[in-house]
């Protein structure tokens, strides 16, 4: 495709153009896609309400751009290569032609079950090709998919189903993860006890484990597609029709349904994919994320397939059957671009270089990182031992809400700098604001990362509650999108993300709201009050530390902490399980009753001797007791 940047001066030129005249810039990029009807206006926006529209009145179907458009040029090329959990099991290759047929067939199948344009469909699945097929089938008929990561609990799943009033759930019997077999359908059964909107579920047979099929509700995937045509005319969608909803945590207790729409998301994921990874035709690209997160949406499925790439999907975990699995897969499929998370790199780093040694890794050209700041040590290990010193690392900063990569080197084109996401992509107008909302201009400044101009793949609303979108992202700093991240622009103008400035923690690259974890902990009948903070964790980046006031009621501390962890497992899922729980006699509060998290964060980080003046607290005496009981 013609929108590739090839040099540093090319980047600077494109960036300037994108800021001076965004409309011509994006219009030129969008021109290379297939539109049923061209747009009337490139962008219409207002960050106050907020109201953002891209490619106004344009008509398209994103799957025509992913599938039909590629049929004649690369029909026999691999679109998806699926690598199973068990290395002994055969991998599966789906060419663009095959993927087209499977998507059309499944689209017809879900349509026959009564799902149509605008209906919401929940996808709760393991990392199998059918997860991508299900997403694209929804997009084909204009249904709005909402993927829920298969590690979430029944409770978290039913919350999401109910929030978007989903009509259908697409799932599987079970999930192979390492040497474990995880029940999936069972969780759906449990969730559906509390959901009225769901009319049918489709169940893929993956593990073959025993499950309950409810007649009139559940149907096997293979039965649903039996004899169904592999041709389907894509539904015509407006640019601003919803493509998907993806739930994400924030500083309040309830996850938000981030809404992305068809036209802008299509343009930006494809554009950013090609430029950041410098993908060349014929390359094999692998992103290790799960489709349950935004990274899986934008950079396993939509971005790469829009660009006509070959995208690997991996079912398993990095340490099964051993800590060399990632590298075995890179050699086996001759991976050229490899995109993973710092937490995975640190976990593998802990095994030393021995598991890497048997592998050549000579096909690798580009390494990527996403999800949290990558510390310098992990950056160098990744660079030296995985990339053998010859692959640029693209440290990509972005968010569920941004839809695509916002700040990152372009591989081999713009400079890299360890622990820096470096420079914004063309079209991305960053500003740094101080707490009063004044713009900090020039270099060597630090403050709140905001964006002052819309970009095509930005969120449009939070599902069912537009005011929440406004309050969360557009009210802290009027007329700006606020990311929630702190940032530094160094003396050379490069950006370094400093982490969240709100009550959100980042555990293994997954966003957790502290309030959400507290709500879950508080569900335990013996918990009186709790406060959750993040603390530095060697592998996860941040760990979850919970300070809890309990009515012990004859229980041991050990017994109670175990019960609390189980409660969190049940309410949210294992990803939110606290790493440390400390039972405390009280929580440090201001005179107005606000919990002083700053103090708890310091104690949790082992910096309890450095609390500063605490005499203004309502209950300063409690701090000593907490410090004494702290576990490190």
- Near ligand WT7 by CB under 6 A: residue from 64, 189, 240, 485: 485
Region of 104-112, 469-477, 495-503, 581-589 interacting with ligand WT7 (CB under 6 A): 495-503
Binding of ligand WT7 at residue 572 (CB under 6 A)? no
φ, ψ of residue 12 to 5 degrees: the values are -65, -40
Minimum CB separation of residue 176 from ligand WT7 in Å reads 24
Region of 211-219, 457-465, 496-504, 550-558 interacting with ligand WT7 (CB under 6 A): 496-504
Minimum CB separation of residue 379 from ligand WT7 in Å reads 11
> d(Cα 122, Cα 84) in Å, to the nearest integer?
23
- Near ligand WT7 by CB under 6 A: residue from 399, 448, 462, 514: 399
Helix (H) or strand (E) holding 123: strand 120-124
Q: For residues 49 and 281, is the Cβ–Cβ distance under 8 A? A: no
Binding of ligand WT7 at residue 270 (CB under 6 A)? no
Region of 184-192, 195-203, 369-377, 614-622 interacting with ligand WT7 (CB under 6 A): 369-377
Return the structure tokens found at 504: 């959100």
Rank residues 308 and 404 by Cβ distance to ligand WT7 and give the closer one.
404
* β-bridge partners, 486: 448, 499
- Near ligand WT7 by CB under 6 A: residue from 285, 314, 397, 477: 397
> d(Cα 395, Cα 398) in Å, to the nearest integer?
10
List all residues 6 or more positions away from 252 whose beta carbon is below 8 Å from its beta carbon.
Answer: 513, 515, 516
Minimum CB separation of residue 534 from ligand WT7 in Å reads 11
Minimum CB separation of residue 376 from ligand WT7 in Å reads 13
> d(Cα 136, Cα 107) in Å, to the nearest integer?
8
Rank residues 324 and 373 by Cβ distance to ligand WT7 and give the closer one.
373
List all residues 6 or more positions away from 559 whose beta carbon is below 8 Å from its beta carbon.
Answer: none
Rank residues 292 and 316 by Cβ distance to ligand WT7 and give the closer one.
292
- Near ligand WT7 by CB under 6 A: residue from 206, 260, 511, 524: 511
> d(Cα 410, Cα 278) in Å, to the nearest integer?
7
Minimum CB separation of residue 504 from ligand WT7 in Å reads 7
Minimum CB separation of residue 188 from ligand WT7 in Å reads 23
User: Three-state DSSP class for 80?
Assistant: strand
> d(Cα 20, Cα 193) in Å, to the nearest integer?
54
Minimum CB separation of residue 130 from ligand WT7 in Å reads 23
Rg over CA atoms, the chain: 24
Binding of ligand WT7 at residue 414 (CB under 6 A)? no
Binding of ligand WT7 at residue 541 (CB under 6 A)? no
| Chain residues 424-483 in contact with ligand WT7, contact rule CB under 6 A | 483
> d(Cα 230, Cα 104) in Å, to the nearest integer?
5
Binding of ligand WT7 at residue 421 (CB under 6 A)? yes
* β-bridge partners, 160: none
> d(Cα 413, Cα 396) in Å, to the nearest integer?
14
Region of 54-62, 371-379, 430-438, 606-614 interacting with ligand WT7 (CB under 6 A): 371-379
Minimum CB separation of residue 129 from ligand WT7 in Å reads 22
Binding of ligand WT7 at residue 184 (CB under 6 A)? no
Minimum CB separation of residue 295 from ligand WT7 in Å reads 5
Rank residues 129 and 509 by Cβ distance to ligand WT7 and give the closer one.
509
Residue indicated by tokens 């890299």: 416
According to DSSP, residue 589 is labeled B
Minimum CB separation of residue 70 from ligand WT7 in Å reads 26
> d(Cα 185, Cα 179) in Å, to the nearest integer?
19
> d(Cα 314, Cα 304) in Å, to the nearest integer?
15
Rank residues 56 and 419 by Cβ distance to ligand WT7 and give the closer one.
419
Minimum CB separation of residue 299 from ligand WT7 in Å reads 9
> d(Cα 402, Cα 50) in Å, to the nearest integer?
15
Rank residues 130 and 290 by Cβ distance to ligand WT7 and give the closer one.
290
Minimum CB separation of residue 340 from ligand WT7 in Å reads 11
Burial class for 615, CB neighbours closer than 10 Å (0-12, 13-18, 19+): exposed
Neighbour tally for 376: CB within 10 Å: 12
> d(Cα 306, Cα 408) in Å, to the nearest integer?
20
Minimum CB separation of residue 236 from ligand WT7 in Å reads 30
Minimum CB separation of residue 18 from ligand WT7 in Å reads 21
- Near ligand WT7 by CB under 6 A: residue from 64, 83, 119, 395: 395
Binding of ligand WT7 at residue 506 (CB under 6 A)? yes
Return the structure tokens found at 82: 């699926």
Burial 4-13 (b: 16+ CB within 10 A, else e): ebeeeeebee
Minimum CB separation of residue 292 from ligand WT7 in Å reads 11
- Near ligand WT7 by CB under 6 A: residue from 268, 398, 463, 473: 398
Residue 443: HSE in the Cβ half-sphere, 13 Å Cα cutoff: 8
Binding of ligand WT7 at residue 248 (CB under 6 A)? yes
Say if strands 541-550 and 527-537 run parallel, antiparallel, or are unpaired. Answer: antiparallel
Residue indicated by tokens 């080197």: 409
- For the residues of 517-537, what is the DSSP string, one character each? HHHHHHTSTTEEEEEEEEEEE
> d(Cα 457, Cα 406) in Å, to the nearest integer?
10
φ, ψ of residue 512 to 5 degrees: the values are -130, 130
Binding of ligand WT7 at residue 290 (CB under 6 A)? no
Neighbour tally for 337: CB within 10 Å: 29
Rank residues 33 and 494 by Cβ distance to ligand WT7 and give the closer one.
494
Region of 344-352, 370-378, 545-553, 610-618 interacting with ligand WT7 (CB under 6 A): 370-378
Binding of ligand WT7 at residue 346 (CB under 6 A)? no
Binding of ligand WT7 at residue 294 (CB under 6 A)? yes
Binding of ligand WT7 at residue 400 (CB under 6 A)? yes
- Near ligand WT7 by CB under 6 A: residue from 61, 396, 414, 457: 396
> d(Cα 171, Cα 193) in Å, to the nearest integer?
16
Residue number of the CB closest to ligand WT7 reads 400
Give the binding site for ligand WT7 (CB under 6 A).
248, 294-295, 370-373, 395-400, 421, 483-485, 497, 499-500, 506, 509, 511
């Amino acid at each position: 495709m013609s929108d590739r940047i090839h040099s540093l001066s090319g980047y600077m030129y494109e960036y300037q153009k994108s800021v001076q005249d965004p409309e011509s810039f994006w219009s030129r990029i969008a021109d290379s896609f297939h539109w049923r009807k061209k747009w009337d206006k490139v962008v219409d926006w207002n960050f106050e309400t907020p109201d953002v529209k891209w490619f106004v009145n344009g008509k398209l179907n994103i799957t025509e751009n992913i599938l039909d458009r590629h049929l004649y040029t690369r029909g026999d090329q691999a679109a998806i290569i699926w690598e199973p959990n068990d290395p002994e099991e055969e991998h599966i290759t789906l060419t663009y032609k095959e993927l087209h047929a499977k998507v059309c067939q499944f689209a017809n199948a879900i349509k026959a079950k009564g799902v149509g344009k605008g209906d919401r469909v929940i996808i709760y699945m393991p990392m199998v090709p059918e997860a991508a097929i299900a997403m694209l089938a929804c997009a084909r008929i204009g249904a709005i998919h909402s993927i829920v990561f298969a590690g979430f609990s029944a409770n978290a799943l039913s919350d999401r189903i109910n929030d978007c009033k989903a009509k259908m759930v697409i799932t599987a019997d079970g999930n192979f993860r390492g040497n474990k077999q995880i029940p999936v359908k069972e969780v759906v059964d449990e969730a559906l006890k509390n959901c009225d909107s769901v009319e049918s579920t489709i169940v893929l047979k993956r593990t073959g484990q025993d499950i309950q099929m409810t007649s009139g509700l559940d149907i096997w995937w293979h039965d649903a597609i039996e004899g169904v045509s592999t041709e389907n005319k894509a539904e015509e969608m407006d640019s601003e029709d919803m493509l998907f909803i993806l739930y994400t945590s924030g500083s309040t207790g309830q996850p938000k349904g981030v809404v992305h729409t068809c036209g802008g998301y299509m343009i930006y994921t494809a554009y950013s994919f090609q430029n950041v990874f410098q993908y060349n035709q014929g390359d094999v690209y692998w992103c290790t994320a799960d489709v349950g997160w935004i990274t899986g949406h934008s950079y396993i499925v939509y971005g790469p397939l829009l660009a006509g790439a070959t995208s690997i999907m991996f079912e398993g975990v990095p340490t099964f059957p051993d800590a060399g699995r990632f590298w075995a897969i890179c050699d086996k499929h001759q991976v050229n671009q490899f995109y993973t998370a710092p937490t995975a790199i640190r976990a593998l780093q802990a095994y030393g270089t021995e598991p890497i040694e048997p592998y050549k890794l000579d096909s690798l050209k580009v390494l990527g990182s996403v999800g949290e700041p990558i510390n310098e040590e992990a950056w160098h290990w990744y660079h030296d031992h995985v990339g053998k010193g010859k692959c640029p690392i693209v440290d990509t900063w972005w968010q569920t809400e941004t839809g695509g990569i916002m700040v990152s080197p372009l591989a081999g084109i713009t400079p890299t700098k360890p622990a820096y996401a470096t420079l914004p992509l063309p079209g991305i107008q960053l500003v740094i604001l101080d707490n009063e909302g004044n713009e900090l201009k020039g270099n060597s400044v630090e403050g709140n990362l905001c964006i002052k101009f819309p970009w095509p793949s930005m969120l449009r609303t939070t599902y069912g509650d537009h005011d929440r979108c406004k309050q969360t992202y557009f009210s802290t700093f009027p007329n700006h999108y606020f990311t929630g991240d702190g940032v530094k622009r160094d003396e050379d103008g490069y950006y370094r993300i400093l982490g969240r400035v709100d009550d959100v923690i980042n555990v293994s690259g997954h966003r957790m709201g502290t309030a959400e974890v507290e709500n879950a902990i508080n569900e335990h009948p013996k918990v009186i009050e709790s406060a959750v903070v993040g603390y530095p964790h060697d592998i996860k980046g941040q760990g979850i530390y919970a300070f809890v006031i309990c009515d012990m009621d004859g229980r041991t501390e050990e017994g109670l902490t175990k019960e609390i962890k189980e409660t969190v497992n049940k309410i949210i899922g294992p990803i939110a399980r606290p790493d440390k729980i400390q039972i405390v006699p009280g929580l440090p509060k201001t005179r107005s009753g606000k919990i002083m998290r700053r103090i708890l964060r310091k104690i949790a980080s082992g910096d309890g001797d450095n609390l500063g003046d605490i005499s203004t607290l309502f209950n300063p005496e409690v701090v000593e007791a907490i410090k004494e009981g702290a576990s490190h």
